[in-house]
Structure 1
């Protein structure tokens, strides 16, 4: 997982005060406002920006009256350095929170994070007390360059741009419903006459499920949900039959709030992966996490 970084020559690396002065002036639209925010004089802000422009060999601002307007080069540069400053700030906060350098910022999918990962994190914490895991929910792939995440949990295929992959598990699904709706796990044919609940990120899940049983899917739409957790609750309250990942359905089947609605467990449309950005050095915390999660395979 290791990568070797080549840093730009030092003459191309501007000072942090110059970057902060430029970013504040660009965001606020004036050197005066930037000076107030950074507790500097207006002339100090102007000098920092001039030094930065001389170093880059390009104009970053064009004056319009008393306002500063970004040039095309300035707009592009602002986007890039805001990402750098955000990551630098996050790294500094993480270092302060955990002086041993063990912070791991992980983007997770809600269902996987809640039902599979969270119950196991205590085991990871015991094995790696030096690592602080920070979890945030993200429903779709994002550009790692614009975020401070070290890694993410991805579902689907290997289609995350600029990412390295560790395969975790396929998603298997089971049809479930409230006990009042189904007495026993019977013939899949019976589900064609029932109300079906759908997830917006798996719009053809039921069609594939019926096809796997050599059945034609029923016509007509059912209720649509954006997360498995809300769809499971709808099923618990008798609103229809849900197609849930086995790790989401398991606790509800165990406590009796849901019942298997038809025989069989089917593979879903994709797999779960741990992904991290290509071309960025792998922090020790991510290395420890990836090694730990590998010991959990095959995931149950």
Structure 2
């Protein structure tokens, strides 16, 4: 503990340094903090004395971060923000019944959101914040308790709960099946085949599964997001290979149909990931158990 105190400057010094770095002048930093310019200058001087080096270059009335100051700011500012967020969460929900989830946008919109009323019924005192994140992050730096991950069980320093494996099938608008007389897999070659921009070889692989010769067309409509792709197919633009969990609503309403229930082999699964110690928080355990339970029902 003595070592921790030695390397942990008082918070007012750190705040004075961060605000001055943000504004580049002592006067503006003083206005933001409600202190005098002399007080802010003393905070910065005290911090520089504490760490044993200068953090700013003084240019007239302005202060400009030097190399050491820039590095130091990059290290401590995210930590101060995390402290502020954690304190704000605790103040707004004193019992700590708040859970932060990071998820892929499409997964959050199409799989999590429709199920959230059931979680609220089970735990009405829970507050769950869902943020869209497409890339991996460090749980030690970001404020999230849980995250949804697609691919392999390879998120660093995290536990992985398998939710379900991705099932990708061909889908078309029902009118297109009727108007273009789609009766066998080979008939799909006679209509536009849309692709998701990151899976441009999907149709080639699917036709190999059904043993149908396929020649890549000179141009193919490519769409970045699966939900946009589903909307285009429902409007009659062609056929696409889509994960079934993203189009449950369209399949139930009949705006999309699966002409051939032959899935594309995809080595991709969806996982709920989190640091093991996060389950020490009851609210996180409850959300984790709910999501895993819903995934079991989905697989069934």
Query: What is the rounded CA distance, in whole Å, between the counterparts of 2:278 and 2:75 in structure 1?
Result: 16
Q: Which runs of 5+ in 1 are unaligned?
A: 1-5
Change (3 A) 1:216 1:292: same
Give 2:190's aligned residue. 193
Q: CA RMSD in A?
A: 2.5
Give 2:152's aligned residue. 157
What is the aligned length?
A: 295
Give 1:3's aligned residue. none
Give the C-alpha shift of residue 263 in structure 1.
3.3
Give 1:253's aligned residue. 251
Query: What is the rounded CA distance, in whole Å, between the counterparts of 1:171 and 1:261 in structure 2?
Result: 19
- The higher radius of gyration belongs to 2
Give the C-alpha shift of residue 185 in structure 1.
6.7
Matched residue of 1:62: which SS? Answer: strand
Change (3 A) 1:10 1:192: same
Change (3 A) 1:249 1:147: same
**Is 2:205–2:264's contact at 8 Å kept on the other side of the alignment?**
no
Give 2:211's aligned residue. 214
Query: What is the rounded CA distance, in whole Å, between the counterparts of 1:161 and 1:204 in structure 2?
Result: 29
Change (3 A) 1:186 1:154: farther
Change (3 A) 1:289 1:67: same
Give 2:262's aligned residue. 264
Residues 27-74 of structure 1: CA deviation (Å, up to 9, x unaligned): 111222211111211111111112222222232212233322222221
Change (3 A) 1:167 1:289: same
TM-score by length of 2: 0.88
Give 1:66's aligned residue. 61
Query: What is the rounded CA distance, in whole Å, between the counterparts of 1:252 and 1:281 in structure 2?
Result: 35
Give the C-alpha shift of residue 103 in structure 1.
1.2
Matched residue of 1:273: which SS? Answer: strand
Query: What is the rounded CA distance, in whole Å, between the counterparts of 1:76 and 1:280 in structure 2?
Result: 30
Give the counterpart of 1:84 among 79, 88, 112: 79
- Please identify which structure carries the higher helix content: 2
